[in-house]
Structure 1
Amino acid sequence: MIRRQILRYTPNQRTNHWLVAILFFTAALSGLALFHPALFWLSHLFGGGPWTRILHPFLGVAMFVLFLGLVIQFFRANFFISNDRLWLRRVGRVIRNEEEGLPPIGKYNPGQKLLFWILLLCMLVLLFSGLVIWRAYFSEYFGITSIRWAMLLHALAGFVLVLSIIIHIYAGIWIKGSVSAMVHGGVSRAWAKKHHELWYREVTRDEHPERPISKKG
């Protein structure tokens, strides 16, 4: 652990996150190229239309698999607690940067938790709808009505996912220190206490466990 800093993300977690980010952008760009003729020029980034059509589903599956790695590591920290409901009721103060009256929160604030579950839902919808419309392997097993519904759900889930990632990026930039944590792994103790006090207490308690009482004599 970095001196006077708290480890927020391990090297494996950071690598996992950035690989998902890279795959998201490649899957999103290739998906947009296939979504509308006005965006077909994006297919040149992938070697043209045929290669874009071939690569897009594989990029999506790879993104989902790696995202599951993040889910496995972070899902426990994204369960809602009682303080989260109060935080959400006072979210206006958060937006105005008014910290007075906000309850202490854990490793992730309620906004981050909502985003986590929205991303997971979108990923699941994209995966299963994508399998239905994946012509090379699976679409022949489904009727035209199922394929049309799957295409609609795929587009809607993709739209929500892109908006969610934009919010995620904006929030990461807005809260100074968030991006640095995902790059370097550590955050200052002051940052942890200010933004995630319950998590700060938990981590510092683990660093300095209470010594057992001696029973000599």
Structure 2
Amino acid sequence: MARISTKFLTLLVAAFVGLTSVAVAQTVPAPGEPRAETGGAQTLADILRRQEQQKVDDSFRRDNIGNPETAAPIDGQLGTRGGVSDSEFWRAYRYNELDELGTVRASAKGPSGDTSVTSVVIQSTGMEWLSFRKGPLKDYGGYLLLGTIGILVLFFLFRGRIMIDGGKSGKTITRFIGIERFAHWTIAGSFILLALTGLTQLFGRFFIIPYLGHEAFAPIAIYGKWIHNNVSWAFMLGLVMVFVMWVSHNIPNRLDLKWFAVAGGLFSKNVHPPAKKFNAGQKVVFWGVVLLGASISVSGLSLLFPFEMPMFAATFHHLNDLGLPQLVGLDPLPTDLAPQTEMQLAQAWHAIVAFVFMALIIGHIYIGSVGMEGAFDAMGSGQVDEQWAKEHHGLWYEEVTGKPAYHDSHPAE
């Protein structure tokens, strides 16, 4: 009896070892293959690369989720889960390869292509977006704004306020009528509110909560978001009005080259290049406002209506067709984006454009206020001194008044 028991136990152990070796042979890489030393699991090198936010090829996990089509029958050996083990099931869960019934898709090998918002359970790019928002976006965006202010302070110390070289004449001329000033202040006022509330949302956690606490910051964030979402409509209205009224005056021409050649006289006294209603510097601001404003409006609408206005998959597709990523040495951009990824990209792009926009407007505010004598009057009362008009917009002054702006010689157009 003891001999029979020993033989039976030996056969049982042998069968177990045999079955185990078969299972291991199906999942463990052969010697010499990648990750053979870890039995197919991630290595220390994978972990270190991920911590350094470097790209890691995780196909060894993404593709290792079983395959019901080639599985053993559920009533056969190793078929109790239809060929999908617990670890494979959770990998499928991790990589969004479960169907609506919670079973692994029969054709699941890599991304399934199902990009409906309800299909995504775990989404890795959310952490990448959060790291970008808390790191490079906050840091470099802050450096850009502080750097812009610093440069303007140095410029003011070096150049001082740009005065009217010929002195005020005491006579004024209409520079902008009421509807033009309304459009300007609509876009200007709304932009300032949008900038302040946007910066509060981004920097509040780092610079407001430590001093005021979470309870005080909560209503600031809530009302700030409400203001940001609703004032955006006024900004877009002002943007359209400004574009319609001024686009014809901001078409580049050869006079702009003369203006750039002397930097508009910003660094020298008694230097006044010829200009019409808008000089080259103002044209740069105009097109910057229009293009950046349009871009930030589109991304803002995408955020106002979540998952309804995806932009980046189609944009990346067109960029790939043009070969632009490859031209700068990059791989083709991804075009199969989950809805959450679209939202994260929209928010990141919205913030990046906003920082560039704010830097541009800070410079514009400087010139239009403390930087240049008489400039604010153009948008304040709409009336500017005639001598100011002669010096900064001589050709426009001649068109409006019929009087010569230049005594020595008339600048050629």
TM-score, length basis structure 2: 0.45
Q: Secondary structure at the match of 2:173?
A: strand
2:396 aligns to what?
199
Work out whether residues 30 and 46 of structure 1, in 8 Å CA contact, stay in contact via their aligned partners in 2: no
Structure 2: segments with no counterpart, 5+ residues:
1-169, 311-338, 404-413
**Partner-residue secondary structure (3-state), 2:402:** helix
Shift of 1:141: 5.6
Query: How big is the shift at 1:133?
Result: 2.1
Structure label with greater radius of gyration: 2
Distance 1:29 1:35 in 2: 10
- Tell whether 2:189 aligns with 1:18: no
1:5 and 1:140 map into 2 onto residues whose CA distance is 51
Structure 2 residue aligned with 1:96: 267
Query: CA–CA distance in 2 between the matches of 1:68 and 1:46?
Result: 34
* C-alpha contact 1:126 1:158 (8 A) present in aligned 2: yes
TM-score scaled by length of structure 1 = 0.82
Cα deviation per residue 1:32-83 (whole Å; 9 max; x = unaligned)? 12223225569x7995323322331221222111221122111111111211
Q: Which has the higher contact order (CA 8 A, sep 6+)?
A: 1
Q: Is the 8 A contact 1:34 1:40 kept in 2?
A: no
Paired residue for 2:379? Answer: 182
Residue 118 (structure 1) aligned with residue 281 (structure 2):
no
| Count of paired positions | 200
CA shift digits 1:8-35 (9 cap, x unpaired): 0112222222232221111111111222
Q: Is residue 68 of structure 1 aligned with residue 240 of structure 2?
A: yes
Does the aligned pair in 1 maintain the 2:306–2:343 contact within 8 Å?
A: no
* 2:198 counterpart letter in structure 1: G
The 10-residue stretch of structure 1 (47-56 or 176-185) with the greater mean CA deviation from structure 2:
47-56
Between the aligned partners of 1:45 and 1:109, the Cα distance in structure 2 is 44
Matches within 5 A, 1:121-160: 121-134=291-304, 137-139=305-307, 142=310, 143-160=339-356
Q: Percent identical across equivalent pairs? A: 30
Q: Alpha carbon RMSD of aligned pairs, Å?
A: 2.6
Q: 2:231 aligns with which of 59, 64, 73?
A: 59
Matched to 1:72, the amino acid is V
CA shift digits 1:61-109 (9 cap, x unpaired): 2211122112211111111121111211221x72322344x53111111
Unpaired runs of 5+ in structure 1?
A: 207-217
Structure showing the higher helix proportion among its residues: 1
